[in-house]
Amino acid sequence: MTVFYAVVEGDPLDSAKGSRVLGSCRSTIQGEDGVRRRMTLLGDGAWCDACKSAGEIVRGGDLPDRRRMRDMVSGGRHQAVDGDQVICKCERHPRIISVYGRKFTITYDRDDARAPGDITPHIYGKQPSAESNVPVATHDERFMLSDANGRLLRDTYTQRFGKPWVVSDDGLSFLATWESGILNGVNFQGHHVTDGFILKAYRDNVGIPTVGCGHRIVPSDHIQVGQTISLERARAFKKHDLERMERRLNNDVHVHVPLFQFEYDALVSIVYNCGPNLGADGIIRKINMGNYSGMFDFILTYRIGNNPGLPPRRYTEARLFASGVYDASH
């Protein structure tokens, strides 16, 4: 007898940290963290961070469709379960790991694996082809998933809480990695970075004079491009800038929904990049709608304009907001 678990939006793949599935079903499952997430169906999409491509979810384990929930609203598609696969660009198609939908279980006896009513794997909306190479595999393993710091994911989620919020150390490192490229060493632009600060003033990728941890130089700073400042001054700039961003998010008339720590940290990174005034208005209006599951897609394109450096940043911020993965590598 094998136990299978339902898959919901945000569940990871076994290919790479940051890979996740999307959900389209109107039915939701409440996870152990108290959050309701949409169930995922065969034919839905998923993002694979290993090959940086999106793929379609197909039946990959030995649980037949007759044992899966069927969503008639979506044309009769069946639910996805842990062990199903994603047809991305990877040579080995990754499998889905159920993390948030484990309250929904299905037991199945493999001795009935070829009972009447079972079907062979297929890709919804497409005709099977040799190129698809979708194997029927046995899946009976269970996983203990941890974040970038080695903590079990089930231990990193608590109840959402209200203000006052304070950005975490993980959030600060995430922010510094995006603003300066790395925390220490020489970044991809050739700038020397110390504790997340670029001490020599430079022009960013859109020509704005910048120094420290993404601090935009203003006339009152009396700093010229090419000039080097002290680490202490860089820290003071960051402290002042962060206070402005956090003050906007903590203001009583602005954000008024509870947040997980990682959700707040993602918002801080976005507002730090866009600014605490007009740049923060749209994201604050969206989060105040309380549609947490819709934030991933909203963040992906938030105020990216024509800046080529922003889409990958927004992806990691959206991922952080949705799953608590503090990975700003780029």
**100 shares a domain with 184:** no
Residue at which a domain ends, from 129, 145, 161:
145
What DSSP element (H or E) covers 270?
A: helix 261-274
**204 shares a domain with 302:** yes
CATH number at residue 185: 1.10.530.40
* pLDDT score, position 159: 62
Rounded to whole angstroms, the Cα distance separating 164 from 284 reads: 16
**127 shares a domain with 53:** yes
What DSSP element (H or E) covers 283?
A: helix 278-287
* pLDDT score, position 134: 40
* pLDDT score, position 109: 72
Torsion over CA: 248, 313, 90, 87 (sign): positive
**275 shares a domain with 191:** yes
Domain that holds residue 114: 1-145
Assigned domain for 31 exists? yes
Torsion over CA: 40, 42, 47, 48 (sign): positive
* pLDDT score, position 199: 98
192: three-class secondary structure by DSSP: strand
* Mean pLDDT per 10-residue interval, the chain, length 330 residues: 86 87 80 84 90 90 84 82 92 90 80 43 36 38 40 48 91 97 94 97 94 97 97 98 96 87 95 96 94 86 91 90 80
**173 shares a domain with 105:** no
* pLDDT score, position 137: 35
**189 shares a domain with 140:** no
**241 shares a domain with 110:** no
Assigned domain for 157 exists? no
Helices (H), ranges, 181-226: none
Rounded alpha-carbon distances, angstroms, from residue 219 to 48, 178, 208, 216: 44, 25, 12, 10
Assigned domain for 160 exists? no
Assigned domain for 66 exists? yes
**201 shares a domain with 102:** no
Based on the structure, what is the number of domains in the chain?
2
**183 shares a domain with 128:** no
**27 shares a domain with 117:** yes
**309 shares a domain with 199:** yes
* pLDDT score, position 126: 37
